[in-house]
Chains A and B, each alone.
Chain A
Amino acid sequence: MPAGRLRFVAGRLAQVVPVLLALLLIVVLLQQLMPGDPARVIAGPRAGAEQVARVRHDLGLDQSIPGQFWTYLTHLSDGDLGRSNRTGIPISTIVGERAAVTVWLLAGGLVVSTLLAVPAALVMALRPRSAAARLCARSLTIILNCPPFWVGLMLASVLALRTGWLPVGGFGEDTGQRLRSMVLPCLTIGLAAMPLLARSGAASLRQVLAADHVTTARSLGLSGWPLVRRHLLRNALPPAVTLLAVQAAALLFGAVIVEQTFGLPGLGAEMVNAASQRDFPVVQALTLIFGTAIIGINLLADLAVALLDPRTTWR
């Protein structure tokens, strides 16, 4: 790798460090924000004084804030995320069991949203004054304002309850059942992520359309699908990848909502359940995991775009 690229990668990695530290600090400080005595709250209402003292010591709450931060970091470096309050199961085990569902859901959602967003973006960019483009623009505003949990319920009501084609919720035993139970959640999350993707896609396509090489290609008589495929889509891809990564946070939040609505055993549903049952360590660990994932996705997208785009100049 040439020196310029190496410097770019190192520079981008260095930018991530303060963000990760801020996230860790917030996660550690979250327990300070709890009203009353955090150890008391975490230990639960039935805990005795001795138990509360033990929780306080275990969580490092008897130390100063830098001390707590350090304790959390050392535990983390051993792969120790703590234990659930409700069940006592190590959180790393819970994450290991449940991460796959969330990852598949996100992948499925991404496919659905791309399939829906690309045609809409093409119409809005290529025929901006047509009736179809206006219809798209307005539909996008409406879809953007549909709460995903409600869309999920309505889809379940129409496609599952009325016809019995698909399971309403839960997660089947074998692969076939599991695939079927992922259809509605993927559809919901894809719909939720699609408007922003289509809008940003259309914007980046419009930019490419105005570029000189497209004018040249047009003047050479190229039009229609060959023009779109060879000169538009390829060049609109890098900005779209960046925007997609920016929306990773929204997509993940969509996954949290959809898992809970459809009763899928993923990380998001675990976080909501833990939050409603006041299981602090699980909420804390999942905040950290989701946050790290989003920061990581953004980093990867930035690196990929810069490294794959031949037009990038290395200073």
Chain B
Amino acid sequence: MTTPPPLLGNTVPVASRAGRAFGWTRSAAVGLTALAVLAALLAPVLAPADPAQLTLDQLRPPSAAHLLGTDALGRDVLSRLLFALRTDLLLMVFAAGLPMLLGTLIGAVAGYRGGVLDAALRWAADIFQALPVYVLLIALVFVLGPGTSSLLVAFSVLGWVVYARLIRTEVRRVRERDYVSAGYLLGLSHTAVLSRHVLPNALRQSLVYLATDMGMALQGIAVLSFFGLGVKAGTPELGAMVAEAQVFLRSHWWLAAFPGLTIVILGSSIAALGDRLGDRGEAG
């Protein structure tokens, strides 16, 4: 028997200090993430200049004409930052989303079917989780050659395991529930039961993990680009911008500071959103 919902009329909601503070952080996280997505989407409209336009106004400090100054090649830093946000957000979504898609498919099929497939998955996952992911990431991107496609391939190859494992466990748990058996009794096919009734209930944990993973993917992309192994040279990208600014650290610290700060804000906001998703799941 389920407990009846509390009567709203009789209870007085008391917002604790902790609750209010959390609310504040979360609105900030939602706001900043939304701002970043909007800024990335509207980059061509918002950018005051062409991010690739070379000028002779080189290494200017922030001013009214160039709000964040110009870089060593005379390009407007604010415009580059906006377009870099676009590059990074897009890459981040795919670098975290593709492994999730792949892992969910593998995990769902293995967990649902069980037997040899499931045993093989568990064996592969054990080995994969003992392997040094980050080192293999560098090696894999190196072997495939720099560029966005090899970044995404490397992230997918190395990242699917966690999702497969999470989904497999959840699917095996959910599979035994009554409503799933009811689905069969109503004559639904395996695919229909899996996609309509089992997966949606198994996905929540993966989504919580996805939020953490996005921050890590963002950093991974930035680091590889910082090393010159990521995006093609010249593409506006946050890590690459820091790398270009490294030489001018003494005289033009802001050139390195702003792109890095953007990564920190974006990653933290998404992580805070993920925490919220996790807490909500625990409560309900």
Contacts and interface: CB of A to CB of B under 8 A. Distances in A.
Interface stretch (A60-68, A75-83, A91-99, A289-297): A289-297
Contact of A276 (B136, B229, B264, B272): B229
Contacts of B179: none
Residues of B in contact with A, size category: 35 or more
A149 B264 contact: no
Contacts of B256: 150, 153-154, 157
Interface string B5-27: 00000000000001001100100
Interface string A189-230: 000000000000000000000000000000000000000000
Interface residues of A, number: 54
B138 A272 contact: yes
Contacts of A290: 132, 135
Contacts of A147: 219, 222-223, 226, 239, 242, 260, 263-264
Contacts of A136: none
Residue picked from B21, B22, B264, B266, most chain A C-beta under 10 Å: B264
A183 interface: no
Interface string A10-49: 0000001011001100110011011100000000000000
Contacts of A276: 227-229
B268 A145 contact: yes
B14 to A, nearest CB: 15
Interface string A245-280: 000011011001100100000000001100110101
A291 B131 contact: yes
Given A144-B215, A257-B223, A298-B130, A35 B144 contact: yes
Residue picked from B25, B130, B134, most chain A C-beta under 10 Å: B130
A141 B140 CA distance: 28
B96 to A, nearest CB: 14
B139 A30 contact: yes
Given A147-B223, A161-B250, A276-B227, A284 B139 contact: yes
A146 interface: yes
B127 interface: yes
Contacts of B138: 256, 271-272, 275, 283, 287
B67 interface: no
Interface of B: 18, 21-22, 25, 126-127, 130-136, 138-145, 215, 218-219, 222-223, 226-229, 239, 242, 246, 249-250, 253, 256-257, 259-260, 263-264, 266-268, 271-272, 275
Given A249-B135, A283-B143, 15 more contacts: A23-B131, A31-B143, A138-B25, A144-B215, A145-B215, A145-B219, A145-B271, A149-B223, A150-B263, A153-B242, A161-B249, A253-B135, A275-B139, A283-B142, A287-B135
